[in-house]
């Protein structure tokens, strides 16, 4: 049997599937990871866990052979962002998010240096409407600002962006084949929408150009998270 097929057999996880650990404590996160088992190889650790034991948990996941996405959306003066990215680059973690402002993105890329830490830009938070942007002093609406920031992320040397499935095609076109396009807002047909109003299915997101999907509650809130993760991975394989 070929090496790739052997690896798939011993580890059925699709490396393009990222599950967010949106729980308040490291104990709950560990329990969730244990229930999901070998069905998922990539986890997102966000601000909620960051506020408690996030970094310790991230290192633990890395020791356990998982990939780790630090979704901390850094936003500060360049020196601070550069130093934070440099400090995090020693953790062995895989993805780190920063806000999509040119100074911030360039500083993060400089800070991670030659490490394997990939820098992803958050272009425009999906919670912001055109009206919010006007109130904040921006002259253009969300769609135009997303495009501007994707271009600026590429110019700053970022490895990719976080984009809704609806922006994935634009990010793929602008960024080219190697660019990372990580899309939350993914819902299989068989799961509840929750608060994701404009969700796409896993296959739709991948077909639109996503390199990775973030899919949380359809897996984490399922009665059997392991089975739900395998079901999502099977759908991804059909894309
Ligand atoms: O459970 P669900 O699949 O909705 O989780 C999606 C994850 O992606 C959450 O961690 C959420 O914070 C994050 N996210 C999102 N929408 C964005 C950006 C990030 O849902 N626009």
Which letter does DSSP use for residue 153 in this model? H
User: Residue 223's CB: how many other CB atoms inside 10 A?
Assistant: 6
pLDDT(94) > 50: yes
Phi, psi for 22 (deg, rounded to 5): -90, 70
Tokens matching residue 187: 């819902």
Pairwise CA distance, residues 141 & 134, whole Å: 8
Domains for the chain: give ranges and CATH numbers. 13-237 (3.20.20.70)
For tokens 């109130």, the residue is 135
Residues whose CB is less than 8 angstroms from the CB of residue 153 and which lie 6 or more positions away in sequence, other chains included: 100, 105, 121, 123, 160, 161
Band of the pLDDT at 76, cuts 50, 70, 90? Answer: very high
d(CA 30, CA 36): 10
Atom of ligand 1 at shortest range from CA of 22: 10
Per the CB < 8 A criterion, the answer to whether 38 and 13 are in contact is: yes
* Chain segment 138-184, per-residue pLDDT in tens: 999 999 999 999 999 999 999 999 999 999 999 999 999 999 999 99
178: its two tokens: 């190697």
Q: Which of 161, 164, 223, 150 is nearest to 196 (CA)?
A: 164
Cite the active site residues: 73
User: How many Cα neighbours within 13 Å face the side chain of 180?
Assistant: 25
Task: Give 5's pLDDT tier (boundaries 50, 70, 90).
Answer: very low
Q: Whose CA is nearest to atom 16 of ligand 1?
A: 184
Q: Which of 18, 19, 20 to mutate to test the pocket of ligand 1 (most atoms within 8 A of CB)?
A: 20
188-239: per-residue pLDDT in tens?
Answer: 999 988 887 778 999 999 999 999 999 999 999 999 999 999 999 999 999 9
User: Span 49-67, mean pLDDT?
Assistant: 95
On whether the CB atoms of residues 129 and 142 are closer than 8 A, the answer is: yes
- pLDDT given at position 196: 79
User: 177: CA distance to ligand 1 center in Å?
Assistant: 24
- CA 91 – ligand 1 centroid, Å: 23
Distant-in-sequence, close-in-space partners of 111: CB < 8 Å, separation ≥ 6 = 81, 82, 83, 84, 85, 86, 89
Q: Which residue has the tokens 């998270």?
A: 225
pLDDT at 11: 63
Tell how far the Cα of 185 is from the centroid of ligand 1, in angstroms: 6
Return the ligand 1 atom nearest residue 46 CA. 10
């Amino acid at each position: 049997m070929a090496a790739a097929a052997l690896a798939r057999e011993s580890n059925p996880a699709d490396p393009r599937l990222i599950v967010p650990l949106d729980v308040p404590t490291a104990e709950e996160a560990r329990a969730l990871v244990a229930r999901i088992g070998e069905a998922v190889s990539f986890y997102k650790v966000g601000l909620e866990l960051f506020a408690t034991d996030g970094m310790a948990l991230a290192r633990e996941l890395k020791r356990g052979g998982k990939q780790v996405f630090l979704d901390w959306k850094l936003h500060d003066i360049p020196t601070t962002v550069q130093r934070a990215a440099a400090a995090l680059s020693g953790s062995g973690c895989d993805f780190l998010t920063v806000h999509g402002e040119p100074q911030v993105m360039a500083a993060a890329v400089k800070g991670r240096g030659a490490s394997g830490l990939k820098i992803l830009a958050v272009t425009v938070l999906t919670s912001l409407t055109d009206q919010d942007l006007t109130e904040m002093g921006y002259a253009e609406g969300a769609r135009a600002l997303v495009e501007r920031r994707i271009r600026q992320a590429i110019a700053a040397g970022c490895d990719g962006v976080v984009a809704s499935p609806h922006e994935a095609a634009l990010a793929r076109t602008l960024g080219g084949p190697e660019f990372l396009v990580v899309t939350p807002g993914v819902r299989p047909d068989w799961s509840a929408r929750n608060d994701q109003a404009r969700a796409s299915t896993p296959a739709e997101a991948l077909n639109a150009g996503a390199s990775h999907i973030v899919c949380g509650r359809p897996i984490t809130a399922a009665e059997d998270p392991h089975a739900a993760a395998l079901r999502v991975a099977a759908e991804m394989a059909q894309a």
